[in-house]
Amino acid sequence: MLYPIMNHARTAISLDGVWRFRALRQLEVTEQDTLRWNGSYDTMAVPGSYNDQKEDEALRDHYGLVLYQRDVSIPKSLSRERVVLRFGSVTHHAAVYWNGKLIARHRGGFLPFEAEIDPQDMEKNHVLTVSVDNRIDLSTLPVGSDNPGGIFGSALPDIPGVQRKKQNYPNFDFFNYAGIARPVLLYSTPKDYIQDIRLRYTVEGGDAVVQYDIETSEESSACRVELLDEGGNRIAEAEGRQGALNVPGVRLWQPLDAYLYTLRVQYGDDEYEEPFGIRTVEVKGTQFLINGRPFYFKGYGKHEDSEFRGRGLDNVLNIKDIALMKWQGANSFRTSHYPYSEEMMRLCDREGIVVIDEVPAVGVNLNFGSAQGREPVDTFARIQTHEHHREVIRDLIQRDKNHACVVMWSIGNESDTATFPESAVSYYKPLYELAHEQDPQNRPVTLVGLQGRYGNEPALLMMDVICLNRYYGWYVYGGDLDAAKQALKVEMDYWATTGKPVMFTEYGADTVAGLRLATSVMFTEEYQVDYYKANHEVLDELPFFIGEQAWNFADFATSQGINRVEGNKKGLFTRDRRPKLAAHYFRQRWHTIPDFE
């Protein structure tokens, strides 16, 4: 599925704006709901999560379905075109009705989907209704439950006569934002059109060869491709759906020094332009090579999260975040814990930010959170996510395969790989293989590891890079940074024996901005700095250590709970992007650590 663009062959019309909105009490959509509403309705902005747009606790914590509706008319000029309705993402599950008729269903909250509009329908006024379901369970990604104890039932028995409010209990800490989070478009192409473009390349000496593979709806016309440099000059051309283009004296896409070529494809009346960078990625021994040089990741785990919009696309915020990363000397982030918007991925290509691209497989671990203190269960015998997990890996790679910024796929966060190691291998091996098969550029694949027992996690050892989330000095030995350093050192001595490249994809300490003390204690800004310094004392000595990504870039919203003070406060920046003391500490540190060894 190509990103919608506008040119002389294609149009893209935004359906963003203020839509009609209703939160439903019942868990099904009636025929009446899908026709133009006569009665009262609310208003809601698209794109944006609905939860924080109103002052309404019931809406914030809503469980189940909501409806969005708007009128749509299609310009007459498009009557001979193929017209497609496209959603950047709807969280988590969507059903789309066009004049009351179901035209699309989509499962999963973070990837695009689309539906063609029947040409018979074009010249009328239409009503578009979208139902959005925010329920998460043991078959969805991310994983959750309608029960505070997850699969175990209630952690503490309810007091007789007490009725809990019905709500989602996520098996993860970020707030379960829902709604139409990314742009909605009507776009057009000629009837016979370019469906997909796959790119890979080899680089030798100063030259590159770009191999392209074009998919078209039919095979009725010839396909012609041109390769343009950043100035728009044609440097190569070819005929045919598959082929190779020589790029003598190639200018590589480099971290923080992006260079984008454009592949212009002409097929019949259709034309598409795909911007792309040329760079190579390879894991060699304990090194992670970008363009043949050992790269060191400096950055963060992030969230798509902001005041009012929740997880709604905000291009201003994305631009600002990348500006802050550059201010700080960072070069990378992980799309924890789900695929980010296509707009952000395109921006990272443009800005030279390196991305670890993660599927929404978070909470695939039934042994943490509310389950603590109980007999361990074999997650993989209980969880019902495998088929959907395959689907999101396929769809993510399909969407992001041509992005130079993506240097590694993450097929999950903090799954339980230690308690039942063989079951974890049976679950993850096919997924690891699938990711490699699907990627035309065959990038490294990882699975982000959870702190706990280590030493017998064959599912992690199967991965190309060992990515660890570690909280020595916070969840483990919190307040005792000397012990934290010793424990971290002992664990790292183990990873040194595996011969794998290792990086931290999370480490951090909750820090309430403005809480200051000369002698640091947990939650103060000083402690966050001391925490990171203690970790770095150990990590800076490790030759196989290829990167540090702090948790988190910024404070973010979570479910309410006794260890979250209006959200997770592990940000180096506050939620409104003001630097904490640790942001300045990292700024000094990262500007002295080179991007390449």
- 52 in contact with ligand GCB (CB under 6 A): no
Q: Which of residues 526-565 bind ligand GCB (CB under 6 A)?
A: 551
**Binding ligand GCB by CB under 6 A: which of 254, 341, 413, 528?**
413
Which residue number, 12 or 476, has a Cβ lying nearer to ligand GCB?
A: 476
**Binding ligand GCB by CB under 6 A: which of 568, 580, 589, 595?**
568
- 171 in contact with ligand GCB (CB under 6 A): no
CB of 109 to ligand GCB, least distance (A): 16
- 506 in contact with ligand GCB (CB under 6 A): yes
- 570 in contact with ligand GCB (CB under 6 A): yes
CB of 358 to ligand GCB, least distance (A): 10
- Considering the candidates 491, 506, 525, 548, report the single residue annotated as catalytic: 506
Q: Which residues of 172-198 are buried (b: 16+ CB within 10 A; e: fewer)?
A: bbbbbbbbbbbbbbbbbbbebbbeebb
Local structure of 486: helix, strand or coil: helix
Contact 332, 547 (CB under 8 A): yes
CB of 568 to ligand GCB, least distance (A): 5
Which residue number, 87 or 474, has a Cβ lying nearer to ligand GCB?
A: 474
CB of 19 to ligand GCB, least distance (A): 30
Which residue number, 337 or 575, has a Cβ lying nearer to ligand GCB?
A: 337
- 33 in contact with ligand GCB (CB under 6 A): no
Residue ranges in 499-580 assigned as alpha helix (H): 525-539
71 by Cβ neighbours in 10 Å (0-12 / 13-18 / 19+) ranks as: exposed
Could you give the CA distance from residue 344 to residue 110 in angstroms, rounded to a whole number?
Answer: 13
- 414 catalytically annotated: yes
- 219 catalytically annotated: no
Write down how long the chain is.
597
Asked whether the CA dihedral 396, 397, 398, 401 is positive or negative, the reply is positive
Could you give the CA distance from residue 424 to residue 381 in angstroms, rounded to a whole number?
Answer: 10
Local structure of 395: helix, strand or coil: helix
In this structure, what token pair is assigned to residue 356? Answer: 């670890």
- 173 in contact with ligand GCB (CB under 6 A): yes
- Considering the candidates 274, 342, 414, 491, report the single residue annotated as catalytic: 414
In this structure, what token pair is assigned to residue 256? Answer: 């923080």
- 414 in contact with ligand GCB (CB under 6 A): yes
Residue 48 zone, left/alpha/beta (φ > 0; ψ -120 to 50; rest): left
Which residue number, 306 or 469, has a Cβ lying nearer to ligand GCB?
A: 469
CB of 570 to ligand GCB, least distance (A): 5
CB of 413 to ligand GCB, least distance (A): 5
Which residue number, 341 or 413, has a Cβ lying nearer to ligand GCB?
A: 413
- 304 in contact with ligand GCB (CB under 6 A): no
Interacting residues of 39 by C-beta distance below 8 A, sequence separation 6+: none
**Binding ligand GCB by CB under 6 A: which of 469, 520, 528, 535?**
469
Interacting residues of 457 by C-beta distance below 8 A, sequence separation 6+: 417, 418, 421, 424, 449
Local structure of 53: helix, strand or coil: coil
Using alpha carbons only, what angle is made at residue 21 by residues 19 and 127, rounded to the nearest 5 degrees?
60
Which residue number, 131 or 415, has a Cβ lying nearer to ligand GCB?
A: 415
Contact code string over 356-395 relative to ligand GCB, x by CB under 6 A: ----------------------------------------
Round the CA-based radius of gyration of the chain to a whole number and report it: 24
Q: Which of residues 239-278 bind ligand GCB (CB under 6 A)?
A: none
- 416 in contact with ligand GCB (CB under 6 A): no
Distance of CA 116 to the CA centre of its chain: 26
Could you give the CA distance from residue 230 to residue 206 in angstroms, rounded to a whole number?
Answer: 17
Local structure of 420: helix, strand or coil: coil
Contact 194, 216 (CB under 8 A): yes
Listing DSSP states for 85-103 in one string gives EEES-EESEEEEEETTEEE
Which residue number, 98 or 573, has a Cβ lying nearer to ligand GCB?
A: 573
Determine the longest span between alpha carbons in the chain, in angstroms: 76
CB of 173 to ligand GCB, least distance (A): 4
Q: Which of residues 107-136 bind ligand GCB (CB under 6 A)?
A: none
The residue behind tokens 């997924």 is 431
Which residues would be at the binding site for ligand GCB (CB under 6 A)?
172-173, 337, 413-414, 469, 506, 551, 568, 570
The catalytic site residues sit at: 414, 506
